[in-house]
Amino acid sequence: MLNKVDILGVEFDYTTQQEILSILQEKIKRNKKAFIVTANPEIVMYANKDPQYMHILQFANHIIADGIGVILGSKIVRKPLPERIAGFDLMVELLSIANQEGLRVFFLGAKEQTLEQMIPKIKRDYPKLVIAGYHHGFFKGQEHKVNEMVKEAKADLVFVALGFPKQEEWIQKNLDSFEKGIFMGIGGSFDILAGTMKRAPAFWRKLNLEWLHRLIQQPSRWKRMLVLPIFVKKMFQYRRKRLR
């Protein structure tokens, strides 16, 4: 069992990318189910406002620190997490493992056109991975059909790209009906795989500025980022309370 680090009520795994990858590989081997959340400060703040979402996060088997803000938060409370694990990187590593081992993968989410661009790239780059199925993420009124599709696919890995909180809600609501699979919410990662969105170049990532790169690409996200200073302030308040 991995140690957990509490960031404003959200329990993050104390883990490196390598460690969580081997844990997940082991789970796949044993046909176990798992619910993975890759969380950033926005998600933590959202959970602090929405008790129902916080409750959903409590069903996750692993909550991964995706966001330099979470690492900063863990340092503020003096329980530093070992490293940031970008959801996108974790997904790419899992795709490589799936390719090596011929695993079954289901892709759920994003726009239909995004999937049309992404699926051929997956086939080209991961030829031995089995595409167990895919469906776009705008399926209001067809929830049952989508659930059946995923059920029948019997995938080892199910990537759910509906954005938060939808992806975590969907996983938690449907998980019981599936036999096995690693279910992971991965936000806008299909857009990056499809090539419709660009990931920050490596040096931006090294400087922990991936969030800024994203903001420049999608300026409409600036409002969402206003929660970040509040997050840092809350972390300091939390530390004062705990150290008192």
Judged by CB, which is closer to ligand UDP: 126, or 159?
159
Residue 4 is a binding residue for ligand UDP (CB under 6 A): no
Which residues are registered as beta bridge partners of 33? 181
* Rounded Cα distance, 204 and 196, in Å: 19
Q: CA of 57: how far to CAs of 70, 106, 165, 168, in Å?
A: 16, 22, 10, 7
Residue 163 is a binding residue for ligand UDP (CB under 6 A): yes
Contact with ligand UDP (CB under 6 A) among 4, 33, 79, 111: 111
Query: Is the separation of the CB atoms in 8 and 60 below 8 Å?
Result: no
How would you write 195-207 as a 3-class SS string? CCCCCCCHHHHHC
Judged by CB, which is closer to ligand UDP: 14, or 139?
139
Residue 160 is a binding residue for ligand UDP (CB under 6 A): no
* Closest alpha carbon to 218 in 180, 192, 236: 192
Residue 200 is a binding residue for ligand UDP (CB under 6 A): no
To ligand UDP, the closest distance from the beta carbon of 101 in angstroms equals 27
**Which residue in the block uniquely carries the two structure tokens 């340092």?**
75
Contact with ligand UDP (CB under 6 A) among 103, 162, 184, 192: 162
Sign of torsion over alpha carbons 92, 8, 73, 234: positive
Judged by CB, which is closer to ligand UDP: 27, or 199?
199
Contact with ligand UDP (CB under 6 A) among 106, 164, 170, 231: 164
Looking at 22-30, 69-77, 95-103, 104-112, which segment touches ligand UDP (CB under 6 A)?
104-112
**String of contacts with ligand UDP for each residue 121-140, x by CB under 6 A:** ----------------xx--
Looking at 49-57, 91-99, 108-116, 168-176, which segment touches ligand UDP (CB under 6 A)?
108-116
Residue 35 is a binding residue for ligand UDP (CB under 6 A): no
Residue 66 is a binding residue for ligand UDP (CB under 6 A): no
Looking at 88-96, 144-152, 156-164, 205-213, which segment touches ligand UDP (CB under 6 A)?
156-164
Judged by CB, which is closer to ligand UDP: 100, or 218?
218
* Rounded Cα distance, 37 and 175, in Å: 13
Residue 166 is a binding residue for ligand UDP (CB under 6 A): yes
* Rounded Cα distance, 55 and 46, in Å: 12
- Counting every residue written for the chain, the total comes to 244
Tokens of 135: 């469906």
* Rounded Cα distance, 59 and 206, in Å: 32
Computed over its alpha carbons, how large is the radius of gyration of the chain?
18
Contact residues for ligand UDP (CB under 6 A)? 109-111, 137-138, 161-164, 166, 187-188, 190-191
